[in-house]
Structure 1
Amino acid sequence: MYAIYNLIVSTSWLVLRLLAKVNTKLSLFVKGREHTLGIIRKNISKSDPVIWVHAASLGEYEQGLPLLELLKLRYPEHKLLLTFFSPSGYEVKKNTPAADVVTYLPMDTKKHVREFLDLVDPKLVLFIKYEIWPNYLSALKERNVPTLLVSALFKKEQIYFKWYGRFMRNALNTFNTFYVQDKNSKSLLKTIGFNNCTVTGDTRLDRVSKILDADNTLEFMDEFITESHCLVAGSTWPEDEKLLVAYINLSTSDMKFVIAPHNIKHEHSRRLKDSITKPTLLYSEKKGKNLQDSQVLIVDTIGLLTKIYSYASIAYVGGGFATGLHNTLEPAVFGIPVITGPKYKGFKEAEDLIALGGILSVNSQTALNQTINELRSDKNSRTVSGKTNSDYISKNKGASIRIMEDITNLLNP
């Protein structure tokens, strides 16, 4: 099986290099990796003690960020190396100050693994949530490098728990400790012989908790919202926008709406604006405009959504009618009700909060209309749902601190 895996990875890398010639995203994926070793040679010397943190993409980066910040604070003499698998993570965070060096992770071939680890020579490795690369993990074990899986979430449907999943189960043997999000994950690992597991929760809760300590003031939002309620719809896909636009166009209230699409390309934002019959303004065109004259604001830029959520009385998080839910914790931390689509399975925080009543899942236009109207008109419902969300985050935060206690023991035995 190991030989088959190596053949698949090597063949995949060859195919990706060919496809990269005609696909922009794949081009970033391939060409970015051509510079990885050079970046490491330039920024890490043989005498540098290195802590390596790997995140698949942007979501895993957000989970790992609280630990990156603590590691940088407590171990300033170490170089922090952050690697990404996907361009959607690396291209957005390649200049993050949270790490000393940021690169793509080379493909999981024996040659790439050997070259990478010979240069990096990490003293500690943290993989975030799901990333399981057998060749990297096997090599780390051979080199006796402490390796942790952080904020992991296991489900019985995963390959590790299938009769044919022995190869991937063996890859799990590398980890010194699994820091999992829930008791179910711990129980599942125990069924396949892993007892080195600690339930710490999700480090993302630590991340979003800090949002409340930041200055979330935005001058344009202060101007846009007066005394009206405001619904902020974040990370929306076309499937979400179709329903939201239908509601907005039929609305007879003075409620304000902010839509921050997942796709911020100008053509998409312009089409979205043209589909709305209420006075609508693009963020990119707000200069010189009176924002109070608009009922709908389309945010066609990145980096503002978290602060915008602080102005909402109701939030809608996109992806639940499309490819899968986006981050529901960012609006939830502000103590407001959150609406999502029906595709939330596998997102633990969403599952928990839907069961508790803080997040409200809708599956149709009628359900969306009814839910928004009820929340808008019923202050008590908004208050109860919002408090459920903020209480959940407050109660379950602290995973990073618990993990850091073990890391301290590993680095300072």
Structure 2
Amino acid sequence: MKLLYIIGIWAYTLLIKLFSLFNPKAKLFIKGRKNIFNIIAQKINPAEKHIWFHFASLGEFEQGRPVLEKIKNLYPAKKIIITFFSPSGYEIRKNYALADVFYLPIDTPGNAKRFISSINPEMAIFTKYEFWHFYFKELKDQGIPLYVISGIFRESQAFFKWYGNFYRNILKSVTYFFVQNKESENLLKSIGLNNVTISGDTRFDRVYENAQSPKALPLIESFIGNSPTLICGSTWPEDEKILSALSEKYPNWKFIIAPHEIHESHIESIEKQFSVNNVRFSIFSSSNQTPNAEHQTLIVDNIGMLSSLYQYGKVAYIGGGFGIGIHNTLEAAAFGLPVIFGPKYDKFQEAKDLIDIGAAESISSTIDLINAFEDFLENKDAADQAKRYVADKKGATNQIISMITKSHQP
């Protein structure tokens, strides 16, 4: 199985190289790792100890960010290193002020040994998932504590299958697991891993903090005026097709669309879908024009504003539910927005919880969307339910910090 893992890693790398010839993300993936150890050597003194945080992508960064910032606040002299697997995380956060940020080299024995030697970590903290065999083994061999925070596990994963011994051994390198729910705890204990506690999801701390002091966006305020607004976050073409019908039915509402992908062809597609009175955010931000009151749809053609946009909404639509799965519902819920999303949400406990308390609805068609939207126009309690749900779930960060610092003083 180890040999198959190595073959899989190299096959994946080869495929990414091929895709990089025509795919911008794949190109960044390869380019960002070119001469990575020389880049690290220019910035990092291996004689100094560091705290290493790894995130798969931007979502995991926001999830683990409260723990990182709490550690930095408690130990300001400590040096922190962040690695990302995905370009969508690295490219947005590469200039993050509290840490040195790099791409994670591909998981091979040589890379793992060289990388850990280069950054000299006194501990490593991985958020939610990404379990790399050679990195985890090297950390264990060197006696470096490894923590997994906001972990979540499902019975369908290879760790819990009859053929999963190789993958179970990867988990045995983890010093301690901080998981989101009882199911995850039970699954880990079922394979003999008792070094686990239920701490919850640090995303609740992050989105709660964000909702308490959001960044003001004057151009958004000008666009909205006094109109009720639907915030459409991280949308894909499948989402936008049905949302356009809703905008036609409710011309008195403003629609703000922050798509997951902002390449030109996608933005042009949205403009065609919302053909009446749409405008790009970049037009206003570059020219300081005041939005025309007749504009109904604002297309946010940049990355990084979404978490602040929700403060201006009455209802939120979260994209991704017609693809591999929905994006972040909690950012909207923290501002008291009831949320609507597509049918693929089964891997997201918070989505199930929000549906159970009447603060979210899942839809599969345009008719479903219109019905869900109209339900929330009548249900005045949904906003309070959404906000209360987030407030009641916060606190994971302090629990994690307390347990880590008891066993290992940074």
Using the size of structure 1 for normalisation, the TM-score is 0.93
Code of the residue aligned with 1:248 in structure 2: it is S
1:293, 1:119 → 2: CA distance?
Answer: 57
1:229, 1:22 → 2: CA distance?
Answer: 41
Please give the residue correspondences for 1:184-223 in structure 2 after superposition, counting only pairs within 5 Å: 184-223=183-222
Residue by residue over 1:250-299, the C-alpha shift from the partner in whole angstroms, topping out at 9 and shown as x without a partner, is 33x51221111222233432332233353222212234344322122222
Q: Give the aligned partner of residue 365 of structure 1.
A: 366
The answer (yes or no) to whether the contact 2:241–2:273 under 8 Å persists in 1 is no
Q: Give the aligned partner of residue 120 of structure 2.
A: 121
Specify the SS of the correspondent of 2:6.
helix
Structure 1 pair 98/350, CA: closer, same or farther in 2 (3 Å)? farther
The answer (yes or no) to whether the contact 1:283–1:299 under 8 Å persists in 2 is yes
Specify the SS of the correspondent of 1:291.
coil
1:339 aligns with 2:330: no
The answer (yes or no) to whether the contact 1:44–1:79 under 8 Å persists in 2 is no
2:271, 2:23 → 1: CA distance?
Answer: 29
Code of the residue aligned with 2:75 in structure 1: it is Y
Residue by residue over 1:300-323, the C-alpha shift from the partner in whole angstroms, topping out at 9 and shown as x without a partner, is 222222222101111111111223
Please give the residue correspondences for 1:143-222 in structure 2 after superposition, counting only pairs within 5 Å: 143-222=142-221
2:12, 2:231 → 1: CA distance?
Answer: 41
Specify the SS of the correspondent of 2:172.
helix
Matched-pair identity in %: 41
CA RMSD of aligned residues (A): 1.8
Structure 1 pair 26/75, CA: closer, same or farther in 2 (3 Å)? same
Code of the residue aligned with 1:335 in structure 2: it is G
The answer (yes or no) to whether the contact 1:332–1:338 under 8 Å persists in 2 is yes
Q: Give the aligned partner of residue 225 of structure 1.
A: 224
Question: Which is further off, 321-330 or 169-178?
Answer: 321-330
Q: Give the aligned partner of residue 56 of structure 1.
A: 56
2:258, 2:13 → 1: CA distance?
Answer: 35
In structure 2, runs of 5+ residues without a counterpart are none
Structure 1 pair 289/271, CA: closer, same or farther in 2 (3 Å)? farther
Residue by residue over 1:173-195, the C-alpha shift from the partner in whole angstroms, topping out at 9 and shown as x without a partner, is 11111100001100111111111
Please give the residue correspondences for 1:9-408 in structure 2 after superposition, counting only pairs within 5 Å: 9-14=9-14, 16-17=16-17, 19-21=19-21, 23-99=23-99, 101-251=100-250, 253-286=251-284, 287=287, 288-376=289-377, 378=378, 381=379, 383-408=380-405
1:21, distance to aligned residue in structure 2 (A): 4.5
Residue by residue over 1:147-196, the C-alpha shift from the partner in whole angstroms, topping out at 9 and shown as x without a partner, is 11111000001111100001000111111111000011001111111111
In structure 1, runs of 5+ residues without a counterpart are none
Code of the residue aligned with 2:60 in structure 1: it is E
1:14, distance to aligned residue in structure 2 (A): 4.7
1:15, 1:374 → 2: CA distance?
Answer: 46
Structure 1 pair 50/222, CA: closer, same or farther in 2 (3 Å)? same
Specify the SS of the correspondent of 2:234.
strand
2:6, 2:399 → 1: CA distance?
Answer: 36
Structure 1 pair 370/9, CA: closer, same or farther in 2 (3 Å)? closer
The answer (yes or no) to whether the contact 1:48–1:78 under 8 Å persists in 2 is no
Code of the residue aligned with 1:337 in structure 2: it is P
1:337, 1:325 → 2: CA distance?
Answer: 15
1:19, distance to aligned residue in structure 2 (A): 5.0
Specify the SS of the correspondent of 1:336.
coil
1:343, distance to aligned residue in structure 2 (A): 0.9
Code of the residue aligned with 2:53 in structure 1: it is V
1:327, 1:174 → 2: CA distance?
Answer: 30
Using the size of structure 2 for normalisation, the TM-score is 0.94
1:243, distance to aligned residue in structure 2 (A): 0.3
1:26, 1:266 → 2: CA distance?
Answer: 17
